[in-house]
Amino acid sequence: MFKSLILIILFLKFCTSLDTLTTNKSIKDGQYLISKDNNFAFGFFSPGNSSYKYLGIWYVKVTQQTVVWVANRNDPLNDSSGVLSINQYGDLVLHYSNNRLLWSTNVSVQDKVITSSVAQLHDSGNLVLIQDNNKKVLWQSFDHPTDTLLPNMKLGLNLMTGINMFLTSWKSKDDPGTGNYSLKINPNGSPQSIVYKGSTPHWRTSPWPWISRTNETYSSGEKYDFVNNKDEIYYAYFVDDPSIMKRVVLDSTGLIQTLVWDDGVHQWKEQWSAPKYRCDKYGQCGSYSKCSPDNVNRFECMCLPGYEPKSPREWDLRNGANGCVRKHLELSVCGNGEGFVKVERLKLPDSSFSAAWTGMGMGRFECEQACLMNCSCTAFTIMNIDGKGTNCLAWYGELMDILEYADEGSDLIVRVDAIELAKYIRKSKGSLSKQRKLAIALVSIVVPMFLVSLLAYIWLAKKKKTKVSFEGHELEDSSTHPDLPIFDLSCIVAATENFSPTNKLGQGGFGSVFKGQLSNGQHIAVKRLSKSSRQGTGEFKNEVMLIAKLQHKNLVKLLGCCIQEDETMLIYEYMPNKSLDSIIFDHTRASFLNWKKRFEIILGIARGILYLHQDSRLKIIHRDLKASNVLLDAEMNPKISDFGLARLFKEDQTQDKTTRVVGTFGYMSPEYVVYGQFSTKSDVFSFDVILLEIVSGKKNCDSYQEHPSQNLIGHSFGYS
């Protein structure tokens, strides 16, 4: 029904559509230019809740209104009397019916030559004005972007024509007027993409050649170009599959997003965005410092080698905006025995004002010598551009907006004074000699002690089971979770805003679950054990022992735990789409869950169960599989959670029995409820119930009018 409605709307649009606009035609409200592949339309529209009329380009096949270009963004029409036509000079002009001009391409004013032009909307979404006699392109919308960068569209500068192609945000979702943010290619030093708020940098990429921090930035089937020559400096991306609708948008808050249309759920899905974390903000730690987003429990700002905080008091208060200054201001760093220290895995400093290429084909030694010869040179890096050999990029002055990555990035060679250089030399050389002396002195003591300790450990391991205590909570077999991170209580309190009720996600017999955000921007879910819950203490021990060992894409990931003072908490990855039951039993949300996605969710749950029963090193029976214990990530991938009631089986064990039946009625198998017997079949029974609920959208505990005593299983299979 929904698809039929869309087809009808498209048909009505085509009834008043044009292929081209010529001098003897015009476009009024309700008329459109349509691209040949029917992907884009050009005409009048009203954004969001606005009553104003604008002239723009939008997607035709997307069910949400998605505008990619606006002509009169700062001069809206207040009624439906607007007319677009081609005037006698070959210009596209927008005016009121009384001929008052609102917008024009303004390409032939200097000539005032009477000519004939044709306007066409290309399949790429580019509106092109062509001179009719020689097919010369007079003007195109791709040269004048608004807030959207489409595939094949350039972001940058044409040095021959002087055209600067950059994005500017809308004021709001209802107002396409020029907003506060812009995304531009800054050509100075080594070119960078920078988001500005007004004229102030807000976020930027590394200097070119750009290094992507994550694999998600450029997905399979997508290519990109960066051209930097005497004629042009620009960035563009291309998508191989024309059926994929992708766009890059700068929104009214300064956020850049790469979005892909998901026709299954009728939504734009975010593929990448920035700025995302605190360290992404331009100059978060000031000058001569680096910002590390992976610092969870400590201040994210660190001074570069040879520098110290400019304002120690502000630094202690975790405010790094003032940055760092040289440690030994009285000591010259020019011709006084200075040298260089390498800092690894960085987003390189801003090259807008102080960086320059010192030479092509230069290695580290040549670049270092060139930097030493210039007293203003503060740092340099070696880059390989397009596989054509190494080149030297040097900074002369302030080093600003440096970000430290965990496993990627570039090396920055920082200039330090003689005192600081001596410290680093002693660290690298002295540590090795100290280690040798220490080894010689202690080897006769350490080796015998080690052998005695090893024999004692083997003997004790045979005598009893090893236990470890986390501040009063005993957990068997400490080897099961040697790398499980322990979070500080103050970190969790800050992340959850002191367990604010607004961050509460849910509650169970164990206690409450809260949403939180760590200092590096990562979202987490915190399961807080109730102080009065005996059930919760048992579940806590069970989850730490079991789930810490499990690694599977369809199992929720345990990030760590916190046991401090009288608090006991488990920290998980945050699932933005919450639990499966919150979608399939909600009529509004369930309407966005098509059959393909439901089938994928069913397969994902099945893979998770198969891993628990057969493919993991441990054979685990979950015992509490239900729709509320299946969480959904941002891409609607299912992840099984809550292992508090899970039981570990031996490899050859097929079933077990308990006198304490726990779980959720409606999901428990009959033999478990009646006799306390459970096995892998118990989880399969629960999975069957979830499958019925996903397909029907009804809860197993619902009753039915014709047979009130029946649940969903009885209703499906016809028994009471």
Give the C-alpha separation, 564 to 540, whole Å: 14
**Alpha carbons 663 and 665: distance in angstroms, whole number:** 7
Phi, psi (5° rounding) for residue 464? Answer: -155, 165
Q: How many Cβ atoms from other residues are within 10 Å of residue 606's Cβ?
A: 16
Distance CA 347, CA 210 (A): 9
Residue 586 bears catalytic tag: no
Residues 6+ apart with CB under 8 A from 149: 155, 167, 237, 247, 248, 249
Q: Which of 211, 158, 208 is nearest to 357 (CA)?
A: 208
CA distances from 450 to 299, 447, 467 (A): 38, 5, 22
Q: 605, 638 in Cβ contact below 8 A?
A: yes
Instruction: Rounding to the nearest 10 degrees, give the CA dihedral for residues 38, 40, 44, 46.
Output: 110
Dist CA 172 CA 532 (whole Å)? 48
Task: Name the DSSP class of 232.
Answer: E
* Separation CA 705–CA 495 (nearest Å): 47
Kindly give the residue spans of alpha helices, DSSP state H, lying in 553-700.
581-584, 587-590, 595-610, 670-675, 680-696
Residue for token pair 């010869």: 373
Regarding beta strands 402-404 and 289-291, do their DSSP bridges make them parallel or antiparallel, or are they unpaired?
parallel
* CB contact at 8 A, 139 and 105: yes
SS (H, E, C) 54-99: EEEEEECCCCCCCEEEECCCCCCECCCCCEEEECCCCCEEEECCCC
Q: In the numeric block, which tokens belong to residue 124?
A: 């790429």
Report how far apart, in Å, the C-alpha atoms of 645 and of each of 118, 204, 299, 546, 684 are: 71, 48, 38, 10, 16
Host H or E run for residue 410: strand 410-416
CA–CA gap between residue 4 and residue 363 (Å, rounded): 64
Listed in sequence order, the residues at least 6 apart from 125 whose beta carbon sits closer than 8 Å to its beta carbon are 35, 39, 40, 57, 68, 69, 150, 153
CB neighbours of residue 625 within 10 Å: 29
Residue 211's nearest CA partner among 120, 344, 112, 321 is 344
From the candidates 350, 624, 642, 683, give the one annotated as an active-site residue.
624
- Residue 451 has what DSSP assignment? H
Q: Among all residues, which ones are annotated catalytic? A: 624
